[in-house]
Structure 1
Amino acid sequence: MLPPPENDLRPAVVQACALARQFEGFRSHPYKDSGGVWTIGYGFTHLPAGSSAPRPLGTTNQGRQVPVTAATPPLTPAQADPILHTMMGGIAHQIWHESAGKLQDSALAALADFAFNMGLHALLHSTLWRLLMAGHESQARAQLGRWVHGKGSAKPLPGLVRRRAAEAALWAGQPSTAH
């Protein structure tokens, strides 16, 4: 199957970026997240390589990435927005490809945000994904509620509970009330 034209994924990417902005928030300087990982911007743990001023992935640095460290220069929202859009576009495209183009925009947007937060590998090797690919969409969507624990945490994290609820609502085509 041929990849979709970039514009075909745009609505899902825009929705996923909005969700990521809502739940990640924006931090201009590097900080360690709850898991101890250096992070900046909208939850970026890696940035485009090759300059002190971050550029969107896929520009002049062929998509190479470097991890965020304490020495990473500050980001502005104007720098971070295109990075987020490019990262989310790449994630959405990979999910679309892996699903053989079977997903509606709302499902693609929710899953792209999930993968941005938890990792594409985690999504593609999950029970959620297996259920979805077997045609059990409502059961797959319900699996989002299982992904609410931080690394090494037995207790659900309130922020992840709200985020998974917002992803499930988006996927189901319902407005989200989670903030």
Structure 2
Amino acid sequence: MKLSQEGFALLKKFEGCELSAYQDPVGVWTIGYGWTQPVEGRPVAAGMVITQDVADSLLGSGIVQYEKEVAGLLKVDVNQNQFDALVDFAYNLGPRALKGSTLLKKLNAGDYAGAAEEFSKWNKAGGKVLKGLVARRAAERTLFLS
């Protein structure tokens, strides 16, 4: 499966796009649509600036790894909306977080409703509840259930 346009819209809404590097709430240097990996071989760092085209390209090429990771973790069938919610979750938190989560365990056991209830538990960064993460998890849950 591939991330749908609705999935991209959700991700872009919550990530936002910053063309100048910034530190996220836990101090990780970030640029574009929440991008933390090297850009053209250079680590994201203070003073880095990219163009909108580069930000779009990073997201477009980078999302492929998250689609593959999510697909590889699934042992049950999911619909497009469920897949989109899971890819957004993995993009935001990393595939490792999804891999070790109760959300994935419940989903792979066929407990779709139970899996949906797990999204809201992932609302902290640096040990603090963040309003943006509360809203993002609620949006992912809603999408997952639709």
Normalising by structure 1, we get a TM-score of: 0.75
Contact 1:17 1:84 survives alignment (8 Å): no
Inter-CA distance 13–89: structure 2 relative to 1 (3 Å threshold): farther
Question: Counterpart of 2:141?
Answer: 168
- Of residues 93, 97, 108, the one that matches 1:133 is 108
Inter-CA distance 82–14: structure 2 relative to 1 (3 Å threshold): farther
Alignment of 1:1-179 (within 5 A): 9-10=1-2, 12-50=3-41, 67-72=43-48, 74-100=49-75, 102-153=77-128, 156-173=129-146
Return the offset for 1:100: 4.4
CA RMSD of aligned residues (A): 1.6
In structure 1, the gaps of 5 or more residues are 1-8, 51-65, 174-179
Structure 1: which 4+ aligned runs deviate by more than 6 Å? Answer: none
Q: SS where residue 116 of structure 2 aligns? A: helix
In structure 2, the gaps of 5 or more residues are none
Highest Rg: 1 or 2?
A: 1
Inter-CA distance 126–144: structure 2 relative to 1 (3 Å threshold): same
Identity, in percent, stands at 36
Q: How far apart, CA to CA, are the structure 2 residues paired with 1:67 and 1:101? A: 37
Count of residues in Structure 1 that have an aligned counterpart in Structure 2: 146
Q: How far apart, CA to CA, are the structure 1 residues paired with 2:11 and 2:60? A: 10
Code of the aligned partner of 1:134 = A
Inter-CA distance 89–14: structure 2 relative to 1 (3 Å threshold): farther
Code of the aligned partner of 1:166 = A
Contact 1:17 1:85 survives alignment (8 Å): no
